[in-house]
Structure 1
């Protein structure tokens, strides 16, 4: 039976819903709506609510237009201007629980924090508070414009982390035990923020699933914006893009994106990212333990076992260069950290998608195999035991425990945990899982 549940927080009175042992407070604005003069500006903190805030449903999403007609992760778009909002899922009677702050993926162009795959009910069951965050996307969040602050989407996430520090104790969370985590673009955002001098003290642990060093070079971004402006018949400036709605921009981005993998994303050269992500990882976040990994096949599609082995041994697939190579290079950059870096590789081949495809590890880490869309992505009988193991490893990490396998240093033969490799244990500690892409890292060092 669902009942109302009220929290008195520094942000104001927030009214959510309780169902059994789980409390949900959805769509809480942490910033003013980024519209009008605030559209391409730095986020403005939301003032204290003067009336009880109804947090019974998901808030508006920055995504208006999905990245494609069908996506592996169910990614609902919710209309509205108040897109800078977050949701909190917490155990009943929670008190100083560790906190997982989740950043969704979508190529920095799309994605939705309202996905049922990101529901924190299993984390709540295990004594963890989950916060899912919405942030600006595409042109609004990441286009480098001469008369606007850069990295607006990352600035949104920084403000959301500030909100967590100020308010999460009212929901039973411990602001001193915050883990920042995300997948794909979200995992890339985690690495970007971990590399930033602006984030110190906002989170104590970090997890990157299929993330990478996804900064976009300024010349490439400007060239893309020129093409976008031509198609929209506006100059590629703040004033020009402001003449078009978010929906118009997102449709145009989707139409132009077909042949380009990463067109907008974090940019280097401001106070958030003064240097490249890899350089920043070598200079900052040394007191933050990091767990990161990738799926075995990401975007490289179904192959036979022999073909897959040969392709992986070459280390030249999109999967390798865009995602997996970031694992040993990040470990190498953090080699001198006191906190440590641990690697995992998700190897379970989905019978529905073929191979260990992009996003297929999310329902296992969240332990939500019964969520909508999971059967379509993973087939009718995904192994529940694998979800139990992966989720437990992530919960232990968020609680403050170091992984049971050895730390990585970015060298050949680095240790890693493999999940779901056919013919092996569901979770097996191994070495060399990232060697095909680590060769280049070793040579560079």
Structure 2
């Protein structure tokens, strides 16, 4: 049976549980609840408490709706009601002392996801001697609206406040505040990139891991298109006062109607970072190449297959590919190079590879090529048998967390995914957190990349001829 254990923080004592050498503390507030007077404001300090605070259950999740349609059959959701959504969770070895720290930031296109998803349990990292922390942050309209009279990038500012909390408090759990690795996948990877682009946040990060994360922020006008459309749909002004007068669930319903039938690769605009003098002065893709923070970064071979079911891919006609190439200024020779790299691929598959390479793989490769600081690049290539996902977006998470038995992992990978690959990837991530070396050479002129598959190899980065032709 778990035994109670207590840690004293600057805001008060918290009571968690200890079992089999691991202490677990859940739902610890790192900032005040962002509702009422705090809604659409920068994260505010936590009020101290006198009595010992229960930290045995996850805190409330940011307002969100489940994933729709076919993607909802693959990606689970957790919704825990309540206002106190800006919380952190800690898994720590009972004997931790100056241990390395891993701060995990979940993905979900900046409008879904939660640290309470069982796949993100930090026990396996704690058993390896790491103090593991996961956080919630504001999502969707609450976190990434572009509103007159309101700060921008509030979800990113939440993550920055959480990082500051970890730096200030992690010593109480046996962690070393000078050895914090920030890690995120998809939108969580984008937030890690955003933290690295902020000098004050970057100073607190020893190393960083970005898995399939977009790296580009937009102008306020472009990032604010989703907000402007929502305001028009609701019949209100795109300002703080008007949006604060709309209930969170009503904003969610309006967003669901707005996004119906869309995907991350097309349709209604999605939430994005806005370049902003206060919260994000420069786009991360412009900064990551210049900084000295060691970086582990990569993507999956077939990212797009999470967002497009096979029938949707089959329905993409050559005219759509042509129009996309014209809109994105993709030269014909790039399309020809992709067809050569993927012989027998359908028009839809070529469209998907081009779109996701433009969004993910090409930017991360440009950043890696520009960097002189230690940079390790990977490509996750193992092909799932589920729904012809192949190496789709988010598939690597069950391997990184070494939780292939988890229901969320099995929805993507099936019940027979290779345990050896999970052991290998989990060990590589642990090694990077502890030493900065995941076990393969740094990315340099030879563009060496770790290719994770049933049999993993270190090879020159694949498909560079085609990728390097992209704008």
Q: Same fold (TM over 0.5)?
A: yes
Q: 1:287 aligns with which of 283, 292, 308?
A: 292
Per the alignment, residue 196 of structure 1 pairs with 198
Query: After superposition, what is the alpha-carbon deviation per residue over 1:220-242, rounded to whole angstroms, capped at 9, x for unaligned?
Result: 33333222112223222111111
Per the alignment, residue 151 of structure 2 pairs with 149
Query: After superposition, what is the alpha-carbon deviation per residue over 1:271-292, rounded to whole angstroms, capped at 9, x for unaligned?
Result: 3321222222244xx2210001
Per the alignment, residue 83 of structure 2 pairs with 81
In structure 2, distance between residues paired with 1:437 and 1:128 = 39
State how 1:103-142 maps to structure 2 within 5 Å: 103-142=105-144
State how 1:13-32 maps to structure 2 within 5 Å: 13-32=13-32
In structure 2, distance between residues paired with 1:111 and 1:27 = 15
In structure 2, distance between residues paired with 1:214 and 1:117 = 27
Task: Quote the offset at 1:436 in angstroms.
Answer: 4.8
**In the superposition, relative to structure 1, how do residues 151 and 314 fare at CA in structure 2: closer, same or farther (>3 Å)?**
closer
Per the alignment, residue 4 of structure 2 pairs with 4
In structure 1, distance between residues paired with 2:249 and 2:465 = 41
In structure 2, distance between residues paired with 1:437 and 1:79 = 47
In structure 2, distance between residues paired with 1:438 and 1:415 = 15
Contact 1:311 1:317 in 2 (8 A): no
In structure 1, distance between residues paired with 2:109 and 2:303 = 14
Query: After superposition, what is the alpha-carbon deviation per residue over 1:78-122, rounded to whole angstroms, capped at 9, x for unaligned?
Result: 110001101011112211111110111011111111111110111
Task: Quote the offset at 1:214 in angstroms.
Answer: 4.1
- Most deviating of 122-131 and 231-240: 231-240
TM superposition score normalised by structure 1: 0.91
Query: Aligned residue pairs: how many?
Result: 431
Confirm whether residue 169 of structure 1 aligns to residue 171 of structure 2: yes
Per the alignment, residue 389 of structure 1 pairs with 424
Task: Quote the offset at 1:314 in angstroms.
Answer: 8.7
Per the alignment, residue 229 of structure 1 pairs with 231
Per the alignment, residue 60 of structure 1 pairs with 60
**In the superposition, relative to structure 1, how do residues 225 and 200 fare at CA in structure 2: closer, same or farther (>3 Å)?**
closer
Q: 1:402 aligns with which of 434, 437, 447?
A: 437
User: What are the ranges of 5 or more consecutive residues in structure 1 without an aligned counterpart?
Assistant: none
TM superposition score normalised by structure 2: 0.86
The Cα RMSD (Å) is 2.3
Task: Quote the offset at 1:247 in angstroms.
Answer: 1.6
Contact 1:84 1:134 in 2 (8 A): yes
**In the superposition, relative to structure 1, how do residues 263 and 314 fare at CA in structure 2: closer, same or farther (>3 Å)?**
closer
Per the alignment, residue 296 of structure 1 pairs with 301
In structure 2, distance between residues paired with 1:61 and 1:240 = 23
Query: After superposition, what is the alpha-carbon deviation per residue over 1:413-432, rounded to whole angstroms, capped at 9, x for unaligned?
Result: 511001116xxx2x210112
In structure 1, distance between residues paired with 2:10 and 2:411 = 42
- Which structure is higher in helix share? 2
Query: After superposition, what is the alpha-carbon deviation per residue over 1:195-246, rounded to whole angstroms, capped at 9, x for unaligned?
Result: 2223232110000011122423322333332221122232221111112111
In structure 2, distance between residues paired with 1:71 and 1:113 = 19
Task: Quote the offset at 1:405 in angstroms.
Answer: 2.2
Confirm whether residue 318 of structure 1 aligns to residue 318 of structure 2: no
Per the alignment, residue 209 of structure 1 pairs with 211
Contact 1:67 1:109 in 2 (8 A): no
SS of corresponding position for 2:48: coil
User: What are the ranges of 5 or more consecutive residues in structure 2 without an aligned counterpart?
Assistant: 315-341
